[in-house]
Structures are given as C-alpha cells and as structure tokens.
Amino acid sequence: MKKSLILSPQQFTLLTLLFTCVITNTLNAQQLPPKVEQWSILHCGTLLAIPGVVPQEKVSIIVKDGRIVELRKGYVKLSSLKTEKDAKVTIIDLKRSFVLPGLIDCHTHITFEMSRQSRLNRVTETDADAAIKSVVYAKRTLDAGFTTIRNVGSGGDAAFALRDAINSGLVPGPRILVAGEAITATGGHGDGTLGFRDDLFDIPGAMQGVADGPDECRKAVRSQVKRGADVIKLTATGGVLSQTAAGTDQQFFDDELKAIMDTAHLLGRKVAAHAHGTDGINAALRAGVDSIEHGSFLDDESIRLFNQTGAFLVPTLLAGKTVVELAKIKGFFPPAIVAKANAVGPVIKDAFARAYKGGVNIAFGTDSGVSKHGQNAEEFLIMVDAGMSEMDAIVCATINAAELCGLANEIGTIEAGKAADIIALANDPLENISSLKNVWFVMRNGVIHKQP
C-alpha cells in the first residue's frame, strides 16, 4: 500500500516549528561573532567595597563578563590573570579616585519631569513623548552614578519599554524596577484624571491603577503585574502634587490596603506605599507594606511599627525641598498644591531625623521627576544636614536600597559574584558628602558608561 504524503495539522505544525528552529539557529550562528571573554581590571586608589566598613587603599577589582570575580590587594598586572588567549582585557586607572558601588535610588518617576507645563502635558503628550523623554532622563541618571532605580509610578507603557530597552543594551540607563501605575482610590492621589474636566479622559480602572474595595484592589494589582510590574506602588494617603485640596491623610480603607499587600505578595512583588499623614502611614505599616515613601507625619507609633515589621522608610527629602521652593514662585502651582507643599515640605526632614534616631531601616529615594533627573545626589546633602552620618547615607543608597529592591545578592556592594556596578569620584564623600555630586566614572554590568 502506498503511504500518504498528506500531513495532519499537528504534524504540519511540528514540522514548521522544527524547520523554523533550524533556520533561526543557522542564522544566529552566522550573525553572532564568537563570544570573547571581556575582562576589566580596575586599579582603585581608595575602595569602599562594602559601605559601613572602613575603605581600603590600593585595591584591584577584577571583572569578567559583567560580574565581579575578585578583589586583590595592590595593583594587579594583566599577566597575573588566567584569561583565554583572545580575551579582551581593559585596565582602568582609578588610582586617584574614591571608588564605591553604583548608587540606587528607590523612588523615581523616570518618564516625567515637573515643569510649569506639567498639567497641560497631561492632555497634550502621548506615551511616545514620555518614552523618548525617559531615554534622556535615564542617561542623565546613569551619568550621575545611579546604576539602579525603582520607578514607583508612571502612566502607560513608557517605563516598561525603557526598562526593556536598557536591559537589551539598546539604550544606556540604570537597571530599572518598574511599578506601572500606582494603585489609588477613585479621586485619590494617584488618580491621573483628578482636577480635569470629566470628558477629557475615560473613567480610569484597574489598568490605570484606580480601585475601590478589596476586589478592585486585587484586580488593579494583578493588572499591573500582567503588564510587567516588578514592584507595586500604592497611594495610601493624599499627596502634594495632585490637583485637589483633599489634604494628605489616609485614602484607602484597611481592607483595601490588606487586599493590595496580599495580592502583591502572593505574586512575589514588594509594595511601596506613598504616605504623608500619620493615619495612612500606620495603616499601611499594619497591613504589611515593604516601604513607606515620604513618611512626612510619622509619629512614635510609626517608628514602633517600622521596627516591628522591618519596613523601610524612603524619605525623598529632595522632593520636600523642591516643592517648597517651587511653591514660592507665583503661579507655578495652583493654590491647593501650594497649601500642601507648605504643610509637608518643612516637616519631612524632621520626620526623617526622628526615624533615623529611632533605628528605622532607611533606603535612599529622591522622587526625581519632581526634581530634575540627574540631580539625585542632592538627597545625600539633605540627609547629612538632617543629622545622618556620611557613611550611613551611603549605606542607605547601596546596601539598604539593594535589600529593599530584593537585589541584595546582585548589587549594593563590590564583592565577588555580584554585578559590576561601580562608580568613582575625585574626592572622599566620607569627608565631604557633596563629592557624590561629581561622579566621573560609571560602570554598569561591566560596561563603562562614563570615565574621566
């Protein structure tokens, strides 16, 4: 009997898949050059490998294919490395530099930068405008020595696209953890339609982060995770920059807060809560939040809850300073925002100082986007001015921030096995913290982005 050559649909699909695989593999083999080992030896004059521990003099960092291999005393020579024959080795002279781990900012809005036009931009700019601007802001942030950021709230898909483009090496920028849209109550601080005419926007829902009641809160969290969120942000209280005179107190009920925490944690995401008012801070802490952003009106009970749960405070002192300065400019903000800026701005630094004295875990965050991107290091100056030691401020922006980001095994210190995120400065920041404003060398994942 003659065998039929007609294939079943399943056989046809299998054959097509097989054929595609063969073709793709052949093409890849033709297009990709053979992989060459990439080595770097960084000769460091002074090295703060582990913030919190005394820096060492004259140390070499050895990096291979983007990861730190080892640290060695003295200035290691090329000949002492065991590399493959055709390996590419770069020797980087940082003998007159102070070298430390790449900095981490746990609170940015990378697709946005505040201006007089911000309110108008909401109805004139598209997601594409935001995406293109974010490429510029990301480069500025990286050049300032921030090799990782946590982007806690931005509309649309721009921040996700930026994160993925940076990860694939298409554009330079920091590693980004993206939150997507902040989860907010209807008319709450994160409701992007607040203060606009009703017919300008569709009624926002789960994808825009707007949710009322535990079920909608679960759906809003799941929607952000569905679109690719690495972390969940929520607005537990009112905020300064929303177009409303609704104050800065609690906006979610306890059962809504719990639904957000439980859903995010179930899906393996940490939760960052924007919170100014005391009631909202404490309710979010009781619900099991991982970090409180701002914390302006925290009290003794908040400090007790922070210490009990181990949650982090992300102070954003630079945002407090920036809004107070801008509120002085006539017409920059509408009156409702001026009132809130003047209520929150002056107390945020004192709240930070009390939390620091109270032993609260603190992770560095600026709210950049409210201030200009690339000026993130200004936050260090305010932290030190409020009574924090220079070393502790650096710990907040490295070890503590890495822990809050869930990346403690990857970044935050210069140790064997971690990503080669390394920066260098001309002067010692432990003597003068403002030297962190002049970062002259930036390496991320072993790739040099800036050098003297």
Query: Where along the sequence are the contacts to Zn ion (CB under 5 A)?
Result: 367
280: amino acid identity, one letter: G
Output 63 or 272, the one with its CB closest to Zn ion. Answer: 272
Output 41 or 182, the one with its CB closest to Zn ion. Answer: 182
CB of 107 to Zn ion, least distance (A): 6
| CA-based nearest residue to 292, from 211, 220, 358, 233 | 233
Q: In whole angstroms, what is the distance from residue 287 CA to residue 253 CA?
A: 10
CB of 315 to Zn ion, least distance (A): 12
Output 153 or 172, the one with its CB closest to Zn ion. Answer: 153
CB of 367 to Zn ion, least distance (A): 4
CA 64, distance to chain mean position in Å, is 25
Q: In whole angstroms, what is the distance from residue 410 CA to residue 408 CA?
A: 5
Output 114 or 220, the one with its CB closest to Zn ion. Answer: 114
| CA-based nearest residue to 41, from 85, 100, 86, 95 | 95
Work out the burial of residue 242: count CB atoms within 10 Å of its CB; fewer than 13 is exposed, 13-18 middle, 19 or more buried: buried
Where are the strands (E) in 328-446, listed by range?
361-362, 422-425, 439-444
CB of 343 to Zn ion, least distance (A): 17
CA 447, distance to chain mean position in Å, is 20
CB of 114 to Zn ion, least distance (A): 11
Q: Where are the alpha helices (DSSP H) in 267-334?
A: 278-286, 300-309, 317-327
Output the residue with the shortest Cβ distance to Zn ion.
367
Output 157 or 367, the one with its CB closest to Zn ion. Answer: 367
Other C-beta atoms lying within 10 Å of the C-beta of residue 133 = 19
Q: In whole angstroms, what is the distance from residue 246 CA to residue 237 CA?
A: 10
Q: Alpha carbon of 281 to those of 75, 242, 326: distances in Å?
A: 49, 18, 26
CB of 368 to Zn ion, least distance (A): 9
Output 182 or 377, the one with its CB closest to Zn ion. Answer: 182
SS3 state at 329: coil
Q: In whole angstroms, what is the distance from residue 423 CA to residue 66 CA?
A: 14
CB of 181 to Zn ion, least distance (A): 13
CB of 382 to Zn ion, least distance (A): 16
CB of 182 to Zn ion, least distance (A): 8
- Whether residue 252 contacts residue 213, with contact meaning beta carbons closer than 8 Å, is answered with no
Output 293 or 421, the one with its CB closest to Zn ion. Answer: 293
Output 101 or 239, the one with its CB closest to Zn ion. Answer: 239
CB of 229 to Zn ion, least distance (A): 15
Output 263 or 316, the one with its CB closest to Zn ion. Answer: 316
Output 290 or 367, the one with its CB closest to Zn ion. Answer: 367
| CA-based nearest residue to 48, from 401, 452, 393 | 393
Q: In whole angstroms, what is the distance from residue 183 CA to residue 221 CA?
A: 7
CB of 293 to Zn ion, least distance (A): 6
CB of 230 to Zn ion, least distance (A): 16
Work out the burial of residue 278: count CB atoms within 10 Å of its CB; fewer than 13 is exposed, 13-18 middle, 19 or more buried: buried
Q: Alpha carbon of 36 to those of 85, 86, 136, 444: distances in Å?
A: 10, 7, 31, 19
Q: In whole angstroms, what is the distance from residue 38 CA to residue 449 CA?
A: 15
Output 216 or 367, the one with its CB closest to Zn ion. Answer: 367
CA triplet 166, 172, 178: central angle to 5 degrees?
40
Output 94 or 185, the one with its CB closest to Zn ion. Answer: 185
- Beta-carbon contacts of 179 under 8 Å, excluding residues fewer than 6 positions away, are 150, 151, 152, 153, 154, 224, 229, 230, 231, 232, 233, 272
